[in-house]
Chain A
């Protein structure tokens, strides 16, 4: 159950687009279409932003989108806004009904 690999930080100016990567293996990210993404503001509980690689829950802005290629999943935030400044975590189903998180990425809006 090794953690998925995410960049420690990503930054962008308001209005720009940024992409956060999440790299795993064929035993997790590459082997299943069960990647989800979570946003966490300081001192708050995580919030689901993307599930099943590309799907957005009701109420989540369409500025958030997900994709996957081989063993790497990505979260793209377009039209970056100040409120998007937070930590973002990817998560994937792994073997034998377990899940694994990424180490987290701090998004800074310049």
Chain B
């Protein structure tokens, strides 16, 4: 069955960097676009970034453009999110999601919490 497992979250000081990972299994990872979505505590969902199935195209929300970088390693069936110059407003649970039919997310991981605090 499809499984997505995020890791790499934790507490980090403002201005520092963090890299999240999302390990995929149960499907042909290299055939699907993949997304990152975040949810600040008590708030709604916010789309963060998309990477195409082959890693050739990347798209970002305006709020993270130039600060975050999405990437993937299809040989390791793993998705990444490099987050630089972190700010307190980046505090959130970060989910990876598989791009499903058209522009939907058909499977989600359980999320990893990133807390930016001094």
Contacts and interface: CB of A to CB of B under 8 A. Distances in A.
Interface of A: 1, 3, 32-34, 36, 38, 40, 44-48, 51-52, 55, 57, 89, 91-93, 96-104
B47 A34 contact: no
A104 B46 CA distance: 11
Given A1-B61, A1-B62, A101 B47 contact: yes
B44 A101 contact: yes
B36 to A, nearest CB: 11
B47 A98 contact: yes
B103 A45 contact: no
A91 to B, nearest CB: 7
Contacts of B111: 45
Interface string B85-118: 0000000000100001111111111110000000
28 contacts: A1-B62, A1-B63, A32-B103, A33-B102, A34-B102, A34-B103, A44-B110, A45-B95, A45-B108, A45-B109, A45-B111, A46-B95, A47-B108, A48-B100, A48-B104, A51-B100, A51-B102, A51-B104, A51-B106, A89-B44, A91-B47, A91-B105, A93-B103, A96-B59, A99-B50, A99-B103, A101-B46, A103-B44
Given A97-B50, A97-B57, A52 B104 contact: yes
Contacts of A3: 44
B45 interface: yes
A98 B104 contact: no
A47 B100 CA distance: 12
B82 to A, nearest CB: 19
